[in-house]
Amino acid sequence: MAKQVVPESARRRRRPTQQGTVLSERLIVHTALRVLREHGSTGLTARRLGTALGADPSTLYRYFAGMDDLTRAIGEELMGQALDSWSATGEWRTDLRALGAAIHSSYLAHPQAAALTASRVTGRPREIAVDETILGILRTAGFPDATAVRLYHAFIDLSLAFAALDAGALALAEEARATDEEMWTSTYARLPADSYPHIAATARLLAVRMPHSAYPAVLDTLLDSAAAQLAAVRPPAATGNRPAGRKPRPAGER
């Protein structure tokens, strides 16, 4: 028989921690984000987190089934922060682009956590709210369900893939990241044109563009494709819906 889920109010620690705070899921997740920022994606352990909270590590298991469960909660928090920072306008393309940017920014604000959680499906309420929002935007815009699901899949995977890629660069040591970015001017810009004519011809443009994320450009490409698909399934406008060869009757003519 599955274990009964105990509400957080029933699991809450009765006495304050050594730091004088009462534990909660939210406090643990926020502290875990700080630990990840300080120690990297491999540095989150129950012992280290317990020390940061001023609590025995075993206390964490009153709130989470294990460290993997905590990882899912961290992923949910990043999704929730993205949704909290976003607001709808009612225009499907504007709303999707803004939500994609919010998801990308939320993960990049916590690059170590992004590396740990971008590939996970949490199944938790705030992540589900993001999924419901995306599908709602697409279906309300008029996309057929099969198309809406396909675009949702492409949109969320694109957003999380770039979040992981760009967060990985941010998680590098400053010296390593600077060395990578300088490669476009220190190495690529100096390649001989007789051996690498296309790189040589575009070296200046590459040096300007490559240190930045391609996510906005690729997201716009996806949205362009979506707009074309929507135009193909929408019925013709009223003025273009008359049979060929027939003219509209003047007002009042019977």
Could you give the number of structural domains in the chain?
A: 2
Q: Which domain holds residue 59?
A: 10-64
Confirm whether 237 is domain-assigned: no
User: How many Å apart are CA 110 and CA 79, to the nearest integer?
Assistant: 12
Per-residue pLDDT at 252: 46
Nearest CA among 150, 130, 113, 122 for reference residue 37: 113
Residue ending a domain, choose from 45, 64, 83: 64
Same domain, 107 and 158: yes
Same domain, 182 and 92: yes
Confirm whether 157 is domain-assigned: yes
Q: Residue 76: is it exposed, middle or buried by C-beta count within 10 angstroms (0-12/13-18/19+)?
A: buried
Same domain, 141 and 48: no
Same domain, 78 and 60: no
Residue ending a domain, choose from 64, 86, 102: 64
Same domain, 20 and 84: no
Confirm whether 27 is domain-assigned: yes
Same domain, 129 and 20: no
Per-residue pLDDT at 44: 94
Alpha helix positions (H), 5-91: 8-11, 25-39, 46-53, 67-84
Please name the amino acid found at residue 169: A
Q: What is the pLDDT along the chain (254 residues), one digit of tens a residue?
A: 444 444 555 555 555 666 657 899 999 999 999 999 999 888 999 999 999 999 999 999 999 999 999 999 999 999 999 999 999 999 999 999 999 999 999 999 999 999 899 999 999 999 999 999 999 999 999 999 999 999 999 999 999 999 999 999 998 889 999 999 999 999 999 999 999 999 999 999 999 999 999 999 999 999 999 999 999 987 755 434 444 444 444 444 44
Q: Rounded to two decimals, what is the model's pTM?
A: 0.81
Confirm whether 241 is domain-assigned: no
Same domain, 96 and 205: yes
* Count of residues making up the chain: 254
Nearest CA among 18, 13, 22, 45 for reference residue 32: 45
